[in-house]
Amino acid sequence: MYKIGAVTIGQSPRNDVMVDIKPILGPHIEIVEAGALDGLSKEEIAKLAPKEGDYVLVTRLRDGTSVKVAEKHITPLLQDKIGKLFESGIRVVLLLCTGEFPDFDAKGFLLRPQRILFEMTKAVGEGLKLGVFTPSKDQIEQSRKRWSAVTKDLRIVAASPYVKSDASIARGAMELSEWGAKIIVMDCIGYTSKMKKHVKEITSCPVILARTVASRIARELLE
């Protein structure tokens, strides 16, 4: 049986993510999970919150609650978890976040969904009317900066995959549909296949989901 590491910027296990990833990887691949916030108290996690000017990330804790953390605080914690997975003999590690990070020290294949998602979208959607879902209003401008490299015809909508997601995602999908989006990216590992289906039903256009795209690349490396 092959093994793959999966590192969340929140706390493991991420059963809400694995529900879509495991069927793609198949029964012959064992997933070893780790979380950057594993073992930290809520008080310790609160100290990692972003301040004005920080790159904002949104993630999920083990109890299901959603938190915001600053990239600069979470990066060294991620490096520690990534390093330990490679040291254990695992050759492929999937980062469960679409945020932008500095380069990590990786002793194997480190799959970074942000880069995978960006390059795939650029390959198929360059110059098209692109709609992007991001979890928080705090992330809209940093998202705009990233995705404007694909197209200037861009609309960003904020909809949390963790809090009152059905209503906010439906509103976002309606906004993108009325705007005339030709392709949509759900730019967070927290968005599910069920959410993707809902968006596609409302908009009738292709929807790219981060978690499933990254999982298929991982399977390609392991097969």
Tens digit of each residue's pLDDT (9 = 90 or more) over 137-175 = 999 999 999 999 999 999 999 999 998 889 999 999 999
Predicted local distance difference test score (pLDDT) of residue 81: 98
Asked if residue 15 lies in contact with residue 44, where contact means CB atoms within 8 angstroms, the answer is no
Cα–Cα dist 136/138, whole Å? 5
Backbone angles phi, psi at 92, to 5 degrees: -125, 125
| Residue-wise pLDDT tens digits, 182-195 | 999 999 999 999 99
Asked if residue 34 lies in contact with residue 79, where contact means CB atoms within 8 angstroms, the answer is no
Please tell me the class of the 2-112+212-222 domain.
Answer: alpha beta
Please tell me the class of the 115-209 domain.
Answer: alpha beta
Which residues are paired to 109 by β-bridges?
92
pTM (predicted TM-score): 0.92
Predicted local distance difference test score (pLDDT) of residue 220: 93
Q: Tell me which residues of the chain have a pLDDT lower than 50.
A: none
Q: Would you kindly state where each structural domain of the chain is located, as residue ranges?
A: 2-112+212-222, 115-209
Looking at residue 58, the DSSP 8-state letter turns out to be: E
- Write the secondary structure of 11-52 as one string of H (helix), E (strand) and C (coil): CCCCHHHHHHHHHHHCCCEEEEEEECCCCCCHHHHHCCCCCC
Name the 3-class secondary structure at 201: helix
Q: Hey, do 2-112+212-222 and 115-209 end up sharing a CATH topology, with the first three levels equal?
A: yes
The CA-atom distances, in angstroms, between 91 and each of 30, 88, 98, 137, 215 are 12, 9, 21, 36, 15
- Closest by CA to 10, choosing from 84, 72, 104, 77, is 77
